[in-house]
Structure 1
């Protein structure tokens, strides 16, 4: 069943677990994530990026997710991740996304506040939740470009930002990075503790892939309620693809045979992530 962020994150924050949020675009990803989430009775957030919606991408993604969501007895959020284009955000809302993220993290705080308020004013009347980012999580973007320098979230800016924007969730920068890590991060849990005491809304950890499990779990225990994951799924898909390519002698393998190693590798990774964030049996 389709829900918005408030319907999963408020409960997660109260009960001390995280909700896994997976970027995904194709049937192999979406179906495997949803089937595994239902098996583990976990709430789940399906995310798409701006470039995934170009052309007919938005039609494929929304038609697929909206078409199957009611067949699953778990909470499912359809979320637009890291958006900066107001037209795309408005289109996603109109097409049935239940949540959107406006990313003004590279802007001066007053501009970030003004733009985020504009998105909230578009979304809230349609029961669509809004996530924003304060501070900046660096690393590499999906296209391989550099995502700028990390800027840790300043605790004394959190209350002002949330109160003025009326966002429903806040992504914070405490030491993670997007993409694949060159070296293991060291999360600033003390800063997270300070932010969590101040924030009226659930907190989000971007760059969850590759972050040591103990650090992710420590962040959940200290206020993180949504954990973004994508690189680990891409790694799993590639692992499964290599197995599939080596395991078929026929030039025309059946689709189920062709995709099975990919789905198996994905399922294993997804289960690992759900166990990591303590979300199993929380979607009942």
Structure 2
């Protein structure tokens, strides 16, 4: 069943677990995520990037999710991830997204507030939750381009940002990065504690893939309620594809045979992340 972000994160914050948020495209990812989350009785956030929604992508992907969501007995959030184009955010809301993220993290504090407030005003009347980012999580964008320098979230700005924008969730920068790590992160848990004491909304950790499990668990204990994951799924898919190519004995294997090793690797990774987030058996 489709719900908005607040419906799953407020409960997670109260009970001190996190909800895994998986960027996904096409049937193999979407179906494996939903089937596995239902098996583990975990709420789940399906995140979509503008990169994958271009052209008819938004029609294919949203129709797929909306066509099956009522068949699952778990809360499902359809979330637009890292959007910077306000017109595209409006389009996503019109297409039935239940949650959107406006990413103004590369802008000045005032510009970020101004644009985020526009999105909040646009979304609230339709029951759509809004996530925003304060500070900046660095790393690589989905197209491989450089995502800029890391800027840790300033606790002194948190209350003003939330009060002036009216957001439902806040993505914080505490030392993670997007993509695959070239060196292991060292999360600033003390800063997270300070932010969590100030924040009136649930907190989000971007760049969850590859982050050491002990640090992720400590972050959850100290306020993180949503963990964004994508690179780990891409790694699992590639591993499964290699296995498929190496083990197929026919030159014309059936599609389900081709994709089974991919789904198997994805399922293992998704279970690991659900258990890491401690979101199993939370429905």
TM-fit CA distance, 1:59: 0.2
Give the secondary structure class of the aligned counterpart of 1:55: coil
Give the Cα separation in 2 of the matches to 1:5 and 1:17.
14
- Cα deviation, 1:82-107, whole Å, max 9, x if unaligned, reads 00001110000000000000000010
Residue 88 of structure 1 corresponds to: 88
Deviation at 1:196, TM superposition (A): 0.1
Q: CA deviation at 1:209?
A: 0.1
Structure 2: how far apart are the matches of 1:2 and 1:21? 14
Secondary structure of the structure 2 residue equivalent to 1:3: coil
With 183-192 and 244-253 compared, the bigger mean Cα shift is at 244-253
CA distance in 2, matches of 1:109, 1:160: 10
Report the counterpart of residue 38 of structure 2 in structure 1: 38
SS in 1 for 2:152: coil
Shift of 1:184: 0.6
1:174-193 equivalent positions in 2, closer than 5 A: 174-193=174-193
Superposition pairs for residues 49-88 of structure 1, below 5 Å?
49-88=49-88
Q: Could you list the runs of 5+ residues in structure 1 that have no partner in the other structure?
A: none
Distance in 1 (CA, whole Å) between partners of 2:134 and 2:97 is: 22
In structure 2, C-alpha distance between the alignment counterparts of 1:31 and 1:50, rounded to whole Å: 20
- The SS at the match of 2:114 is helix
The alignment status of 1:281 with 2:281, answered yes or no, reads yes
2:260 equivalent in structure 1:
260
Superposed, 1:136-175 pairs within 5 Å as: 136-175=136-175
Secondary structure of the structure 2 residue equivalent to 1:174: coil
Give the TM-score normalised by the residue count of structure 2: 1.00
Shift of 1:169: 0.1
Instruction: Provide structure 2 residue ranges, at least 5 long, that are not aligned to the other structure.
Output: none
| CA distances 1:111-149 after superposition (whole Å, capped 9, x unpaired) | 000000000011010000000000000001111100000
User: In the alignment, does 2:197 pair up with 1:197?
Assistant: yes
Distance 2:167 2:252 in 1: 50
SS of 1:2's equivalent in the other structure is: coil
User: How far apart are the structure 1 equivalents of 2:69 and 2:254?
Assistant: 27
* Structure 2 partner of 1:248: 248
Q: How many residues align?
A: 283
1:107 correspondence with 2:112: no
- What displacement does 1:251 show? 1.3
Query: Is 248-257 or 39-48 further displaced after alignment?
Result: 248-257
The superposition leaves residues 23-51 of structure 1 with CA deviations (integer Å, 9 ceiling, x where unpaired) of: 00110000000000000000000001111
TM-score by length of 1: 0.99
Q: Deviations over 1:48-103 (max 9, x none)?
A: 11111110000011100000000000000000000000111000000000000000
